[in-house]
Amino acid sequence: MPKPVVPEAARRRRRPTKNGVVLSADLIVQTALRMLREHGPAGLSVRRLGMALGADPSTLYRYFAGIDDLTLAIGDMLIGRAMTGWQPTGDWRADLRDLGMRIYGAYLEHPQAAVLTASRITGKSHEIAADEAILGLLRGAGFPDREAVRVYHAFIDMTLAFAALDAATVALPEHVRKADEEIWQATYARLSPATHPNIAAVAPLLVADMNNSAYPAALDMLLDNAQSRLAARRGTGPGR
């Protein structure tokens, strides 16, 4: 059973740990993020965190109910980093695209953490702020609430799904990732037109494109569709 989290005012540690640092929830999350980058999800444990921070492992329960609670905080920190410095410009499509690329990029900077957290719902402050911003862009653009939620749902799920997919690729051992990438040239590009006419016809394009993320193109397709639907509702052309 998870241990109760001590309220912020009561849990603040004033004395430095053995490593000379003063514990805080933010420091614990940043240290956990570093451990994920260096050791992967299997290397993240309360015991190892305590050792890295120079603190008794049990002290961490004053800040988080357990590893799962910490995992959610890591995911929320990634979203917070994506939102840092973002300001809407008044162009809902450009602003939404910028947010999508920021969120995707924040996860790809920490692929091990992305694999662990992209499928989770944190319910924490940065996630809530991002959702509020996305829905605000859509409602402000004139999407009815039902349609705004529909576009939001597709947008955020697609963004996080691509983040998880591409992060899993980045997190592979380098030799495995390279071997996967070479298959397009070593196998697909050599298939005969007699047996695989469609693959053979586009093989050079597959070799050039398939090792790059499809997220930017997929994001543009989603936004193009949303923009067209909004224009149709207003009775205007898609570019107006």
Concatenated DSSP letters of 41-63: GGG--HHHHHHHHTS-GGGGGGT
The helix (H) or strand (E) run that includes residue 97 is: helix 92-108
- For the segment 2-26, what is each residue's pLDDT rounded down to a tens digit? 555 555 555 555 566 655 568 899 9
Pick the CATH number of 89-171+210-234 from 1.10.357.10, 2.60.40.4070, 3.90.740.10, 3.40.50.1360: 1.10.357.10
- Residue 8: per-residue pLDDT: 52
How far apart are alpha carbons 61 and 33 in whole angstroms? 17
- For the segment 204-229, what is each residue's pLDDT rounded down to a tens digit? 999 999 999 999 999 999 999 999 99
Both tokens of residue 227? 């923009």
Q: What angle do CA 36, 37, 40 make, to 5 degrees?
A: 50
Crossing angle for the helix pair 92-108 and 145-170, to the nearest 10 degrees: 30
User: In this structure, which topology does domain 8-65 adopt according to CATH?
Assistant: Arc Repressor Mutant, subunit A (1.10.10)
Q: Where are the domains of the chain?
A: 8-65, 89-171+210-234
- For the segment 121-156, what is each residue's pLDDT rounded down to a tens digit? 999 999 999 999 999 999 999 999 999 999 999 999
